[in-house]
Amino acid sequence: MKFFIDTANLDQIKEANDLGILDGVTTNPSLMAKVGVKGQQAIMDHYAKIAEIVDGDVSAEVFSTTFNEIVEEGKKLAAIHPNIVVKVPMIKDGIKALKWFTDNGIKTNCTLVFSAGQAILAAKAGATYVSPFIGRIDDSNWDGVQLIEQIAQIYSLQGYKTEILAASIRSPLHIVQCAQAGADVITSPLDPILGLLKHPLTDIGLAKFLEDAKTMG
Ligand code: G3P
């Protein structure tokens, strides 16, 4: 399972990349706004900076919602760097645009996916990645991890090539559950990734080993 970081914060991207286990980055308009990027050129420059840090796919989301505009915006984003993946919302014009990008050799990530039916449409359109938002599903009283299992089963039965990118991750447990459910990729903020390191018995065990090491001079 690949690890992507879900942020536009360059320091956090560097920190995750320095761990040596980072395979890519995802962003969305909310995450870009959070780091204070304003204006089209600044947005393009920010994606270029991210792509320079990480050797892997970088999802850049379109702000448009009509077919022609999504295609035009996506072409500009894809031209920034070979690793840019155009992130397109799960709407009717988005599906049409996904198919256009597929036919024109541009990688895509279909975002805002909350059902197996939406995931089937994204795969039919040839999306490189499909992003089910598991945390937001949990927030609305459904089971996000169960959706990952369902999509994994359908994609395997049908032979769809689209990779399942579990998004809206909220905890280290989500990451473990997604690995178990058959996700190809998780995209997570930095904290849940670092949370995977933690176990009190590791801390207690290390403290004892270091104490005993001192007695040996
Ligand atoms: O990038 C999309 C997704 O990961 C958003 O997560 O926490 O805003 O639901 P969240």
Q: How many whole angstroms from 185 Cα to the centroid of ligand 1?
A: 14
For ligand 1, residues with CB inside 6 Å are: 6, 26, 28, 133, 135-136, 167-168, 187
C-alpha to C-alpha distance for 164 and 186, rounded to whole angstroms: 8
Beta carbons within 10 angstroms of residue 92's beta carbon: 11
Q: What percent of the chain has pLDDT over 90?
A: 100
Mutation probe of ligand 1 site: the residue of 168, 169, 178, 191 with most atoms within 8 A of C-beta: 168
Using DSSP, state whether 189 is helix, strand or coil. Answer: coil
Q: How many whole angstroms from 28 Cα to the centroid of ligand 1?
A: 8
**Mean pLDDT of all residues in 98-114:** 98
Q: Are 196 and 175 within 8 A, CB to CB?
A: yes
Residue of 38, 87, 99, 208 marked catalytic: 87
Query: What pLDDT score does 77 carry?
Result: 98
E strand or H helix at 87, and its extent?
Answer: strand 84-89
Q: Characterise 91 by phi-psi region: left (phi > 0), alpha (psi -120 to 50), beta (else).
A: beta
CB under 8 Å to 95, separation ≥6 — which residues?
110, 121, 122, 125
Q: How many whole angstroms from 187 Cα to the centroid of ligand 1?
A: 9
E strand or H helix at 16, and its extent?
Answer: helix 10-18
C-alpha to C-alpha distance for 181 and 174, rounded to whole angstroms: 10
pLDDT single digits (tens) 168-213? 999 999 999 999 999 999 999 999 999 999 999 999 999 999 999 9
pTM of the complete model: 0.96
C-alpha to C-alpha distance for 29 and 50, rounded to whole angstroms: 15
> Whose CA is closest to 106, among 138, 147, 78?
78
Query: What pLDDT score does 217 carry?
Result: 78
**Mean pLDDT of all residues in 48-62:** 98
